[in-house]
Amino acid sequence: QQQVKQSPQSLIVQKGGISIINCAYENTAFDYFPWYQQFPGKGPALLIAIRPDVSEKKEGRFTISFNKSAKQFSLHIMDSQPGDSATYFCAATAGTASKLTFGTGTRLQVTL
C-alpha cells in the first residue's frame, strides 16, 4: 500500500513534443505529490508538487494532472527540450512532515 508505481521506465521524445509520465498510488492517506528531476551524478531537485484538493497545477512548461478518484497523477512537459533529458521521479507523502515514497523513475531523452 506504500508503493508508488511509475511508468514508463524510459521515454524518448522529439524536441518540441510533449513528455508524459504517469504515477499511481494506493495509500489514500497520501496528500502531497511532488515530482523531482535528477541529472546524472546530482541530487534530485524539486520540480513541481500538487495537493489533492486541485486537479491540475502548472508551472511554466511543467504541469501536474491529478485524478483523486483514480489515485493517479501525471507530469506533462510541454515543448520538451534536450535540456530536459534527465530522470524524473514522482513521490508521495502523507503529511508534509512525513517521509517520501518514491516512484521507480523515468529516464527521459529528448532528441533533436
Partner 1 sequence: GAVVSQHPSWVICKSGTSVKIECRSLDFQATTMFWYRQFPKQSLMLMATSNEGSKATYEQGVEKDKFLINHASLTLSTLTVTSAHPEDSSFYICSAGIVTWAEYFGPGTRLTVL
Instruction: By CB under 8 A, name the binding residues for partner 1.
Output: 32, 34, 36, 41-46, 49, 89, 91, 93, 96-100, 102-105, 107
**Sequence-separated (6 or more) residues with CB below 8 Å from residue 15:** 80, 81, 82, 110, 111, 112
Tell me how far, at minimum, the Cβ of 57 lies from partner 1, in Å: 15
Nearer to partner 1 among residue 36 and residue 73 (C-beta): 36
d(CA 108, CA 23): 15
Tell me how far, at minimum, the Cβ of 16 lies from partner 1, in Å: 27
Nearer to partner 1 among residue 90 and residue 110 (C-beta): 90
Nearer to partner 1 among residue 17 and residue 57 (C-beta): 57
Tell me how far, at minimum, the Cβ of 51 lies from partner 1, in Å: 11
Tell me how far, at minimum, the Cβ of 33 lies from partner 1, in Å: 10
Using an 8 Å Cβ cutoff, are 8 and 24 in contact?
no
d(CA 15, CA 97): 38
Using an 8 Å Cβ cutoff, are 44 and 59 in contact?
no
Using an 8 Å Cβ cutoff, are 91 and 103 in contact?
yes
Nearer to partner 1 among residue 77 and residue 91 (C-beta): 91
